Chain A
Amino acid sequence: METLAILSHIITGAGLLSIFRLKRHLVAFVALALLLGIAIASFIPFFLEFVHININKISVLSGLMVSVVIGVTGCIINRNFLVELVRIDNLKIRLYEIPFFLITAYFMYISIWKCYFYPNIPFDTIVGPELIAKATFYEGTLQNSIYTDFLTKTYPLSNQPYYAPFIMLMQLIYLCLGSLFGKVWLSCMVLAFFLYFYFELSYYIHPILAGWLLIFLWFMPELYSYTYLVQTDYPNAIFLFIAFTCLYRYYLDEIPKQADFWLSSIFFAFACWTRTETILFLPVVLLFLHRQKFIQNAIAYSIFPVVLFISWNYLFVGIMVPKAIPLGKILLDFNHYFSRGWTTLVGTHKIMFDIAYWNYSFILFFILLLINIGLYRTRTELLKLSWVMGMHIIFMLIVLHIEGANIPFTFRRGFFKIIFLTLFYAGTSQLLINISRWIERMVGAR
């Protein structure tokens, strides 16, 4: 059943991507289709709730079937595009790339096993999204007794049950489909992300350099743990990474493609659907829309993210189910503001440069950054760097001004978003692009 569900995600995603006529390496296309299909599937329980249909195996399966029909229809309408995509030169994988896939298989295999084999462990998950998913599974409704009865009385009150719903909904879908611990979808997301990461960077730089960055991505103990532990941060960082990559293509293209723009907006919305505070990073993303019709584009880009943000945080939580605690309370305490700000800056840097978490990846980025800034000070490089720095600054403001946000947990896991961007910065830096050109000149081919 899980295999069929995964297949349904790919078909759904492929249908929608073919409507966008998104041109990528075939493997990247399938990976992106899977990620898009998974995100789309997470809306099925929500839709069932709104039309008052009991959430169970049959209704969830029916929802997946409907999404497959939509996907197949999209594929049929755009079959010429798909035929073009499946050409042999868009499938090509070179001999020297094979070690990257073997290494990915080595790391991925045991991650999948751990994900499949063990029940959920992270505290935040079992007292939040998984608790809600289980109750919904047993009661057949998202307006279940956890929200209506349990949370209104329990102590201590915590905000985990009100987390943005993506992982809860995915757990629910897979529990309905008979998956023992639900988590299979996470492994699919991780594998799809790594493939997408590699092929996306290969678009800009030599595959060997892209592959080395891929290996650095694997060699991050903190990040690796969340490839098999269900938490909101990793899927959130994946969606946000895709949003950034699509927007970067939109920015770079002489004639910007609307497909990249809208896909970026949609994936940013999915990121908000996974972690609520993501909406606060919207200004950073919008930096890349400055070239033309900024206001108009910024409003258009923000529609999907804002709709999903409001749907969960103000329409579902608060109206459809009671809110037992105030969420996202803003602190406006400006006493000793600069000293607290300095402490936050130091604290976040300690996390960023702690090689126990990231091994050498952040240091590598930092070295490449220094060389890149030294050699190439273009507007594009600066804007890309502003993504990384902007995210960091907004995170510090979150730690200073949102109740419950802290450096050891909120920032440490939130840093996943930034570390992906740092590798993207490295992988699209002028330095590595020029080294790629040099390799290609030396060898005469890719």
Chain B
Amino acid sequence: MGKPDFQQALKDNDKPASSSKVLLLLAINLIGIGIIFILPKNVSFIQFKIQSFYNTKARLGNDLDSAARYNLIYAKECAIINLLDSVMKEDDIFLLPPQYYLVENAYNPKNHIDPYTWTYPSKFKNLAMNKVRFVEITYPDSLLQKATHTFLATRKKGFQLVNLNDSSVAQKEAIIKKLKVYQPFGFFIPQTAVDYLKQKNKKPWKP
């Protein structure tokens, strides 16, 4: 097999450089790299992003197990799912409350940073997967009637887990009816929830 074409093309300038020329190229290269590194945006990228990642790594160390690492991102979601998992029996079914219901009744913009995004069904499904069986408020009534647990929200207490089996049929229907009033989902970041609440609570203008 002959010499590869792309090397043929470079053969004139691919001769080994003398050590002094290599050092000259190294110096030119380092100067160029130095200039790129001191550009203001690049400096802040290194300082505030890359270096902060290195600092985080140093802070977290190497001893965290998988559950702890998962909790770093999904602490709240894990706590909710673990609570449901511990309380519910194998045949129990959780009724996933609408996000608008929780935001309108339990969201405190001063304390909350996550406007209940865990109620997004596909996200909840991913995180709960084999642990929690659940139905959504948009499901047919026949399936909603099988729900055994849900969260009810109050402004003072936040949201609380309730066992629907403890309620009468009429009470259960009333709860389902109440939750059906709300739009299921719509906020991905806290600000949209805050904006929504501001708009909703705005008093009508009076002359």
In the complex, which residues of chain A have a beta carbon less than 8 angstroms from the beta carbon of B184? 155-156
Report how far A89 CA is from B6 CA in the complex, Å. Answer: 12
Report how far A300 CA is from B166 CA in the complex, Å. Answer: 67
Is A161 a contact partner of B126 (Cβ separation < 8 A)?
A: no
Is A23 a contact partner of B6 (Cβ separation < 8 A)?
A: yes
Is A360 a contact partner of B7 (Cβ separation < 8 A)?
A: no
B151 contacts the other chain (CB 8 A):
no
A80 contacts the other chain (CB 8 A):
yes
Is A131 a contact partner of B126 (Cβ separation < 8 A)?
A: yes
Is B123 a contact partner of A123 (Cβ separation < 8 A)?
A: yes
- B66-88 interface code vs A (CB 8 A; 1 in, 0 out): 10011011100000000000000
Is B14 a contact partner of A446 (Cβ separation < 8 A)?
A: yes
Inter-chain contact count A-B, CB under 8 Å? 147
In the complex, which residues of chain A have a beta carbon less than 8 angstroms from the beta carbon of B13? 437, 440, 445-446
A252 to chain B, nearest CB (A): 10
Report how far A356 CA is from B82 CA in the complex, Å. Answer: 39
- B10-26 interface code vs A (CB 8 A; 1 in, 0 out): 10011111100111111
- A27-66 interface code vs B (CB 8 A; 1 in, 0 out): 0000000000000000000000000000000000000000
B175 contacts the other chain (CB 8 A):
no
Is A445 a contact partner of B16 (Cβ separation < 8 A)?
A: yes
Is A253 a contact partner of B5 (Cβ separation < 8 A)?
A: yes
Report how far A130 CA is from B73 CA in the complex, Å. Answer: 16
B48 to chain A, nearest CB (A): 9
Interface size on B, residues (CB 8 A): 55
A412 contacts the other chain (CB 8 A):
no
Chain B CB within 10 Å — which of A121, A130, A444 has the most?
Answer: A444
Report how far A215 CA is from B73 CA in the complex, Å. Answer: 30
Is A355 a contact partner of B29 (Cβ separation < 8 A)?
A: no
In the complex, which residues of chain A have a beta carbon less than 8 angstroms from the beta carbon of B53? 110, 113-114
Report how far A106 CA is from B50 CA in the complex, Å. Answer: 9
A216 contacts the other chain (CB 8 A):
yes
Give the interface SS of chain B, mostly helix, strand, loop or mixed.
helix
B1 contacts the other chain (CB 8 A):
yes
In the complex, which residues of chain A have a beta carbon less than 8 angstroms from the beta carbon of B36? 212, 215-216, 219
- A98-118 interface code vs B (CB 8 A; 1 in, 0 out): 010001001100100110011
Report how far A9 CA is from B182 CA in the complex, Å. Answer: 50
A164 to chain B, nearest CB (A): 18
In the complex, which residues of chain B have a beta carbon less than 8 angstroms from the beta carbon of A126? 122-123, 126-127
From B22, B66, B126, contact of A95 by CB (8 A): B22
Is B121 a contact partner of A154 (Cβ separation < 8 A)?
A: yes
Q: Can you name the residue of chain A whose Cβ is closest to the Cβ of B185?
A: A156
Is B29 a contact partner of A208 (Cβ separation < 8 A)?
A: yes
Report how far A9 CA is from B42 CA in the complex, Å. Answer: 34
Residues of chain A from 58 to 103 with CB closer than 8 A to chain B in the complex:
80-81, 84, 89-90, 94-96, 99, 103
Is A81 a contact partner of B30 (Cβ separation < 8 A)?
A: no
Is B42 a contact partner of A219 (Cβ separation < 8 A)?
A: yes
Is A215 a contact partner of B57 (Cβ separation < 8 A)?
A: no
- A302-322 interface code vs B (CB 8 A; 1 in, 0 out): 000000000000000000000
Is A360 a contact partner of B39 (Cβ separation < 8 A)?
A: yes
Given contacts A130-B126, A208-B28, contact A90 B7 (CB under 8 A): yes
Is A445 a contact partner of B15 (Cβ separation < 8 A)?
A: yes
Is A94 a contact partner of B22 (Cβ separation < 8 A)?
A: yes
Q: Can you name the residue of chain A whose Cβ is closest to the Cβ of B21?
A: A443
Is B41 a contact partner of A138 (Cβ separation < 8 A)?
A: no
In the complex, which residues of chain B have a beta carbon less than 8 angstroms from the beta carbon of A359? 39, 41-42, 45
In the complex, which residues of chain A have a beta carbon less than 8 angstroms from the beta carbon of B138? 153-155
Report how far A52 CA is from B39 CA in the complex, Å. Answer: 56
From B17, B60, B73, contact of A446 by CB (8 A): B17
Q: Can you name the residue of chain A whose Cβ is closest to the Cβ of B137?
A: A155
In the complex, which residues of chain A have a beta carbon less than 8 angstroms from the beta carbon of B23? 95
A211 contacts the other chain (CB 8 A):
yes
Report how far A117 CA is from B13 CA in the complex, Å. Answer: 45
In the complex, which residues of chain A have a beta carbon less than 8 angstroms from the beta carbon of B172? none
Is A81 a contact partner of B1 (Cβ separation < 8 A)?
A: yes
From A23, A114, A154, A219, contact of B122 by CB (8 A): A154
B125 contacts the other chain (CB 8 A):
yes
Is B54 a contact partner of A110 (Cβ separation < 8 A)?
A: yes
In the complex, which residues of chain B have a beta carbon less than 8 angstroms from the beta carbon of A131? 122, 125-126
Q: List 26 A-B contacts (CB under 8 A).
A: A23-B5, A84-B1, A95-B22, A95-B23, A96-B25, A96-B29, A99-B26, A107-B50, A123-B123, A126-B123, A127-B122, A127-B123, A128-B122, A130-B126, A131-B122, A154-B136, A156-B185, A160-B122, A203-B6, A211-B29, A215-B36, A216-B36, A221-B49, A443-B25, A444-B17, A446-B14
Top-3 shortest CB links A-B:
A127-B122, A445-B17, A23-B4
